[in-house]
């Protein structure tokens, strides 16, 4: 069923995954070049629609459906850039009045990011995410979010929404921590591979050194041999 949403294998094919991502692209303003100004496009009236779109895209990836994951990660509308921008952006002025809605939005965006990486044997999507969002930037944002959670200022500013704020903030931090775990594990595996590669190259260089030493000694031996043979021939 998940694959059917992307490809019906008929003469007229409707890729609902791609169309849903295009809808998210339009509503977040990236088609007008305003991806860095999400706060101007996201407001109290359309945030629920964006949340529903993010949840729908997350469901497309469930199973997991690797083809749908790849469709979102490699889409020409830069789907990953939109998702990451939703996670990292301040989304003002909405955040100044309805922080609970902003955190709910970030929570759904982080769920989608996790769904794109879920249960994959390869590292393609992790690499794409790291290309769009350096790991140090995500770590910095994670610590910043933790500091908000430990601070009482945000709950004093929004006393009515404090329960929802705490709920969505904790969920968001959990999703971010899992996302960081995935990406750091990928980087660790990459570093281990590089370590083995460097070790192999070192052993190869040692082998080449021994080979050159052997060839050098062989050449010295052959020179001596030919010199002795030359002397004997000259005597005869």
Residue 169 is encoded by which pair of tokens?
């903030």
Q: How far apart are CA 153 and CA 162, in angstroms?
A: 11
Helix 66-73 / helix 47-61 crossing angle, nearest 10 deg: 130
Average pLDDT score over residue span 72-92? 80
Q: Which residue has the higher pLDDT, 89 or 155?
A: 89
Tell me, rounded to whole angstroms, the distance of Cα 169 from its chain centroid.
Answer: 21
Most confident of 54-58, 95-99, 107-111, 119-123: 54-58
The three-state secondary structure class of 125 is helix
Q: Is the pLDDT of residue 47 over 70?
A: yes
Q: Is the pLDDT of residue 7 over 60?
A: yes
Q: How far apart are CA 64 and CA 182, in angstroms?
A: 16
- E strands, 135-231, in order: none
Residues near 41 by beta carbon (within 8 Å), at least 6 away in sequence: 27, 28, 29, 34
Q: Which residue has the higher pLDDT, 177 or 146?
A: 177
pLDDT in tens, 126-162: 777 777 776 667 666 666 666 665 555 555 555 555 5
Task: Give the percent of the chain with pLDDT over 90.
Answer: 5
Q: What is the pLDDT of residue 156?
A: 59
Measured CA to CA in angstroms, residue 76 lies from 41, 71, 162, 213 at distances of 21, 9, 39, 55
Burial-class residue 113 by CB neighbours within 10 Å (0-12, 13-18, 19+): buried
Predicted TM-score of the model (pTM)? 0.66
Q: What is the pLDDT of residue 57?
A: 92
Q: What is the pLDDT of residue 234?
A: 66
pLDDT in tens, 166-175: 666 667 777 7
Domain residues of the chain, as ranges?
2-199
Average pLDDT score over residue span 51-80? 84
pLDDT in tens, 194-230: 676 677 777 777 777 778 888 887 787 777 777 777 7
Q: Is the pLDDT of residue 77 over 70?
A: no
> What mean pLDDT is reported for the chain?
75
pLDDT in tens, 48-64: 999 999 999 999 888 88
Q: How far apart are CA 155 and CA 162, in angstroms?
A: 5
| Number of helices and strands in the chain (H, E) | 12, 0
Q: Are 84 and 133 in contact (CB under 8 A)?
A: yes
- Exposure string over 59-96, b if 16+ CB within 10 A, otherwise e: ebbebbbbebbbbbbebebbbbbbbbbbbbbebeebbe
Task: Give the percent of the chain with pLDDT over 70.
Answer: 69
């Amino acid at each position: 069923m998940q694959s059917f949403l992307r490809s019906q294998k008929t003469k007229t094919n409707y890729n609902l995954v791609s169309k849903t991502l295009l809808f998210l692209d339009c509503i977040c303003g990236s088609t007008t070049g305003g991806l860095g100004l999400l706060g101007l496009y996201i407001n109290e009236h359309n945030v629920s629609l964006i949340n529903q779109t993010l949840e729908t895209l997350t469901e497309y990836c469930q199973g997991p459906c690797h083809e749908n994951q790849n469709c979102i990660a490699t889409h020409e509308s830069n789907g990953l850039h939109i998702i990451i921008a939703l996670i990292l952006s301040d989304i003002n002025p909405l955040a100044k009045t309805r922080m609970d809605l902003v955190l709910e939005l970030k929570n759904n965006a982080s769920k989608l990011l996790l769904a794109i990486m879920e249960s994959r044997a390869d590292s393609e999507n992790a690499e794409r995410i790291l290309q769009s969002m350096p790991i140090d930037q995500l770590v910095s944002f994670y610590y910043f979010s933790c500091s908000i959670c430990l601070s009482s200022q945000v709950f004093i500013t929004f006393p009515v929404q404090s329960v929802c704020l705490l709920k969505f903030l904790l969920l968001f931090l959990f999703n971010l921590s899992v996302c960081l775990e995935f990406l750091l594990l990928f980087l660790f595996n990459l570093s281990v591979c590089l370590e083995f590669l460097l070790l192999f190259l070192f052993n190869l260089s040692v082998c080449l050194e021994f080979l050159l030493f052997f060839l050098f000694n062989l050449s010295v031996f052959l020179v001596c041999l030919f010199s002795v043979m030359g002397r004997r021939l000259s005597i005869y």
